Amino acid sequence: MNQTKNKSYPIAQLGHPVLRQRATEVENVLADECQQLINQMMFAVSEAGGVGIAAPQIHHSVRMFIMCSKPNARYPDAPLMAPTAIINPEILHYSSDKVKGWEGCLSVPSMRGLVPRHSQITVRYVDQQGNKQQQELTGFIARIFQHELDHLNGLTFIDQLESTQDLISEVEWYQQFASIQS
């Protein structure tokens, strides 16, 4: 019986020590506890309306995150992708160019930052079935991957800002920029 359906998972907020730890490698992807954590993360990100969530954000310091891009109130122009578990991720190659884009975070509510990210990355990870994957990611999907990988390394998007001038309240962001992106 899946108990994930009716359970809420509190998201660690900026300042919680779990968000500043380097997460540990997942040893056995197929273990029940790992699969249960994946299910919990899928539920938590769906419940919170995010496009990604890292295990440390639900208080588990392991190298795992979910990417689940979809248009929503927070990211109306997000591309649609199936929810994907990314385990023990690494970036093999970065493009030399970076693009600034607005990011928010479930652990940093009501703030947005204009964050520079590599526009194209080559990544390697293990999927939910224990298979090794290698992909080239671009644009918004590459941004999500880099954002979530930061969480596994004890960083938030705020650590990637070039200036505090690139930080804005989400209320102000919606007033200034949301209508431009629609």
Q: Give the model confidence (pLDDT) of 45-89 as tens digits.
A: 999 989 999 999 999 999 999 999 998 878 888 999 999 999 999
**Contact residues for 96 (Cβ-Cβ < 8 A; gap 6+):** none
Give the gyration radius of the chain's Cα atoms: 16
Is residue 103 annotated as a catalytic residue, yes or no? no
d(CA 161, CA 102): 11
Q: Which residues are annotated as a binding site?
A: 105, 147, 151
| Catalytic residue (one of 27, 47, 148, 172) | 148
- Residue 180 pLDDT: 59
* Closest by CA position to 102, among listed 48, 54, 173: 173
Instruction: Select the CATH number that applies to the domain covering 17-181 from these four: 3.30.565.10, 3.90.45.10, 3.30.420.270, 3.30.479.10.
Output: 3.90.45.10
Neighbour tally for 7: CB within 10 Å? 11
**pLDDT of 7:** 65
Q: How far is CA 180 from the centre of its chain?
A: 24
Q: Write out the two tokens for 131.
A: 């298979």
Residue 148's pLDDT is 98
Rounded Cα distance between 161 and 113, Å, is 7
Structure pTM?
0.93
Binding site for Fe cation, by residue number, is 105, 147, 151
pLDDT at 4 over 60: no
Q: SS3 of 77, please? A: coil
Residue spans of the domains in the chain: they are: 17-181
Residues 57 and 11 sit within 8 Å (Cβ to Cβ):
yes
Q: Left if phi > 0, otherwise alpha if psi is -120 to 50, otherwise beta: which for 170?
A: alpha
How does pLDDT run across 99-158, given as a tens digit for each residue?
A: 999 999 999 999 999 999 999 999 999 999 999 999 999 999 999 999 999 999 999 999
